[in-house]
Amino acid sequence: MPDEPSPISPSPGISSPVNLSPAPIARAQAARDSRFEEALDLYGPALERLARAWEADADTRRDLLQEVHIALWRSLEAFDGRCSLRTWVYRVAHNTAASHVAREMRLKQREFIGIEDLAQVPDQGPSQTGNQDQLAILYTMIHQLKPLDRQVMLAYLEGLDAASTAEITGLSASNVATKIHRIKHLLAQRMNKAATPQTRDPRPQTPSTQNGGPQ
């Protein structure tokens, strides 16, 4: 009498059919969707600011923001709570944006600089003062930076401390603190310069001086 065939075991890495019930999958999907909505409620405006800082062109900025949203939604399947949701969101967003800029660099053959060199670059922002002009100066500075330094600057502007920024960027906390110190010093210099009134001719404007001298 021939031996009876032994039961077929699932191949390694393949779940048993009993685990393929749609209910657990649906629950996991709903949990991810809920966490994604929570992330957008809490950090949606920050992601929009991040996209603006990474990409100056409005159309490309919208594409980048959509790319960040998609990457964040996909990543949340692996979110296990070992770090805060804020740190997770920023890490995914910054990594996605950095990859985007790296592609743009290759396509456009652009060169970016580091925070250490930014002080040597002439101020290309507007000469007028005011909140909007200061924002323009700020974004002009950010758009010149290398991706990693840009991440540090944006994290600082979003209020993240050195430890959180280090967790997002992979830099050491001391390295981040050094960069933040330089950022603060440079920002103060640029903003003070923007707020300084333009020098004007102190002479009273008489008809003769207005017309270039006596006739």
Domain(s) of CATH 1.10.1740.10: residues in the chain = 25-110
Q: Which region holds residue 137: left if phi is over 0, alpha if psi is between -120 and 50, else beta?
A: alpha
- This prediction has a pTM of 0.64
The neighbour count for residue 152, using CB atoms within 10 Å, is: 28
- CATH fold, domain 113-197, is Arc Repressor Mutant, subunit A (1.10.10)
Q: How confident is the model at residue 207 (pLDDT cuts 50, 70, 90)?
A: very low
32-80 pLDDT, tens per residue?
Answer: 999 999 999 999 999 999 999 888 888 989 999 999 999 999 999 999 9
Whether residue 169 contacts residue 176, with contact meaning beta carbons closer than 8 Å, is answered with yes
Among candidate residues 136, 38, 150, 62, the one with its CA nearest the CA of residue 105: 150
CATH code for 25-110?
Answer: 1.10.1740.10
Whether residue 115 contacts residue 183, with contact meaning beta carbons closer than 8 Å, is answered with yes
